[in-house]
Amino acid sequence: MRKFGFALTACALFNLAQPSAASAAKSQAHCAPLGKSKVALQALKNAGWQIDSDAERNRFVLALADCNGSPDPELRDGIAFEATQHYLRKGLVNEATLASLSAKLQAQLGEPDKSGFRRPFAALNLSEVARTDRIKAWMTAEQRAQLVKASVDYMRSITDHRGFDKVAGYRHAVAHTADLIMQLALNPAIVKSDLVRMRGAIALQVAPAGTSYVTGEPERLARPILFMAQRGAFTEVEWGEWLAQFAGPGALGSWDNAFQSEAGLARRHNVTAFLSALYVNAQASGADALKPLATGAMEALKKLP
């Protein structure tokens, strides 16, 4: 994972484990954009994703979204996501396709997802859609508002906190949705009321009950908060009040015997990691806009057991 920096605008990519032959065969049946086999997709990747026809390229990008639920990490992440990111960052997709892709991915966020792949990767791909609007505005106010709502609703709803599996690769719902919210937070068209809602959704995933993060989620959750602070949308008092909530025991009810329970240890671990990421990055940046965040994070850290 790359170190955090204010030039960072996309999540880190990981080398994923190879699937079994059985799962690869199954995933190919569900991931064949424009009829392309896995071998053909790998060849296209090796050729730098070159598709000369604008019409075919736009159809291909939209079809790639069908791969988000693939159990094969090479198809889901190493091909479908990388291809989508390539075409969108190169400006090779028209606005009509971007709008259709955004709608399709948002719909996936609400679909049943027993295996836990489709929704996290819909969120990750949506982060790239959101980035295109940040770089050059094309969404209507209504489209942008809907994307904010979909992002907030999904972040608030996440209960599957699986990160990495050596066979299936990444799910990483919280991290991917944090990347999406980061891109929205960076967009000057997003107003404070939107930032308030996104910040509130992030707060719910800082220390979810029964989960001890081990795949970088606290750092990924910290990124959109750092960018929100950089915008200067919140006062020092507002940051202090928001950060103070993490110093409390939450659903534990009390910090008593926190070191003698898995739930207590998990909450303390997750909160410490999140607040530390905020403090270190805010302090190291030297930016005046981030000083209230550094102060508030340190005050909260001091109150932890």
State pLDDT tens for residues 50-83: 999 999 999 999 999 999 999 999 999 999 999 9
CA distances from 74 to 18, 31, 88 (A): 7, 11, 20
> Mean per-residue pLDDT for 140-144?
98
For the chain, the straight-line distance linking the first and the last C-alpha, in angstroms and rounded, comes to 29
Residue 102 pLDDT exceeds 80 = yes
State yes or no: pLDDT of 22 exceeds 60.
no
Q: At residue 111, what are phi and psi to the nearest 5 degrees?
A: -85, 150
Q: Are 79 and 68 in contact (CB under 8 A)?
A: no
* Section 197-202 average pLDDT: 98
Instruction: Give 69's DSSP letter.
Output: G
Instruction: Please compute the mean of the pLDDT values over residues 105-117 and round it to a whole number.
Output: 96
> What does DSSP assign to residue 215?
S
Q: Name which of 195, 82, 90, 194 is nearest 135 in CA terms.
A: 90
Q: Give the model's confidence band at 1: pLDDT under 50 very low, under 70 low, under 90 confident, else very high.
A: very low
Q: Where are the beta strands (DSSP E) in 150-291?
A: 164-165, 169-170
Q: How far apart are CA 270 and CA 276, in angstroms?
A: 10
Q: State residue 30's pLDDT score.
A: 78
| pLDDT above 90: percentage of residues in the chain | 90
What is the mean predicted confidence (pLDDT) over 117-143? Answer: 98
Is pLDDT at 23 greater than 90 in this prediction?
no
Q: Where are the domains of the chain?
A: 14-205, 208-305
Percent of the chain whose predicted confidence (pLDDT) is above 70: 90
Q: What is the mean pLDDT of the chain?
A: 92
Q: Write the pLDDT tens digit of every residue in 276-302.
A: 999 999 999 999 999 999 999 999 999
